Structure 1
Amino acid sequence: MDALELLLNRHSNPRLIEPAPAGEQLDTIFKAGLRAPDHGALTPWEFIVFEGEQRTLLGDILANATQAKGEAEETIEKARNAPLRAPMVIAVVAKVKEHNKVPRLEQELSAGCALMAMQMASLALGFNGIWRTGWFSFDRGVHQALSLAETDQIVGFLYLGTAQVAVRQLPERDPAPFVRYFGK
């Protein structure tokens, strides 16, 4: 798929089945993530892969966090089953480093760019996925269960697999309402 066509037609797909990317394809996806803008060459990212039974372990982590919030059993079970909606889930973490020229936000944005690049690479390879965040990304209990440092921040969970169904084509957007030329 042409790169511009890919960017202009990107669409998340929440209905994912086997297979997920593996081997060289998965390595290519990670390499795309590693090309994200990275001021100071800090490489402020970590990619935590959950596949097979590890998705169940991630579901337990999410369920425990949901239970700790005092949510209803139905909500707890929904959280437990969330990672099973795709054959692979990758938690993308901003590994924020103290730096006098590269603030925290810039490093988190870099990790977000890495996630987007990985999703786009997945699409280019014939897979699909969806970027999910939600409150789990900010929950300290989830962070502790994933052995993250206090300064780390989950920027999202990239659910990957093969599209089970085709998604409807999104309408083209006119950029004019979103663009302002300064001084004009």
Structure 2
Amino acid sequence: MPAPNQAAMDFLLSRRSRPAKTLTTPVPSRAELKPILTAAARSPDHGKLEPWRFIVLERPALKRLAEVAEARGLSLGLNEADISKARVQFASAHLAVAVVEVAKPSDKIPPIEQTYSAGAVCLAMLNAALASGWGANWLSGWASHDRGFLETGLGLDTHERVAGFIHIGTETSQPPERPRPDLDAITTWVCE
């Protein structure tokens, strides 16, 4: 019989992201952030490729990224609402971690599995931040997929892309529970 970790299971069954717009200061110090990053880095990495890296974005960098997002959105001819949403995502943040997928050549591990690994890192980081008592949210948006923003704002190379921005801070309000998937509707049991 396996030995359950009931506290971990209870956490996973009740975890809830906190909307980024409700996060404020204080944010984790570098020392407080390190265990969160360490937990995220323990994600399955398919052949020890480590097809990801982290960029910790502190307040001045986030303010700069807000300006880059606005300028890039205008140059792309995006509508005002989309530009504003991207700008606010960075302008109102106090700490975020960009999880950067770094595609690595491999004869054994296909690119899609490296993408899955980067996604697993995002979820692990989100859960580690929540388990540490911080509010946290995983965001993306058009800017996280735009090469111009990624290269200008974050200095990413052509083989890199953002899997997500994990915003971390002190929550100002607890969000209400939201509807969850109907497990019976999404589960198929195969017995033969």
TM-score calculated relative to the size of structure 2: 0.87
Q: State the 1:172 CA deviation.
A: 5.5
* Local SS of the residue matching 1:144: helix
- Opposite residue 77 of structure 2, the aligned amino acid is G
* Local SS of the residue matching 2:47: helix
Matched, 1:156 2:160: no
The equivalent of 1:169 in structure 2 is 177
The equivalent of 1:68 in structure 2 is 75
The equivalent of 1:28 in structure 2 is 35
CA contact (8 A) 1:95 1:151 kept: yes
User: Equivalent residues in 2 for 1:36-75 (5 A)?
Assistant: 36-73=43-80, 75=82
CA contact (8 A) 1:108 1:153 kept: no
User: Equivalent residues in 2 for 1:1-184 (5 A)?
Assistant: 2-14=7-19, 15-73=22-80, 75-145=82-152, 146-171=154-179, 173-182=181-190
Q: State the 1:104 CA deviation.
A: 1.1
**Pairwise CA RMSD:** 1.9
Aligned length: 184
Identical pairs, percent:
35
TM-score calculated relative to the size of structure 1: 0.91
- Opposite residue 156 of structure 2, the aligned amino acid is L
- Opposite residue 93 of structure 2, the aligned amino acid is A
* Local SS of the residue matching 2:166: strand
CA distance in 1, matches of 2:67, 2:110: 33
User: Comparing 49-58 with 82-91, which one deviates more in the overlay?
Assistant: 82-91
CA distance in 2, matches of 1:152, 1:160: 23
- Opposite residue 43 of structure 2, the aligned amino acid is A
- Opposite residue 69 of structure 2, the aligned amino acid is L
Q: State the 1:46 CA deviation.
A: 1.2
Tell me the alpha carbon deviations over residues 79-121 of structure 1, each in whole angstroms, 9 at most, x when there is no partner: 3232133311111111010111111111111111111111111
The equivalent of 2:3 in structure 1 is none
CA distance in 2, matches of 1:135, 1:82: 11
Distance 1:170 1:80, change over 3 A: closer
CA distance in 2, matches of 1:81, 1:173: 30
CA contact (8 A) 2:86 2:143 kept: no
CA distance in 2, matches of 1:5, 1:86: 29
CA distance in 1, matches of 2:30, 2:139: 24
- Opposite residue 170 of structure 1, the aligned amino acid is R
Distance 1:173 1:140, change over 3 A: closer
CA distance in 1, matches of 2:123, 2:61: 23
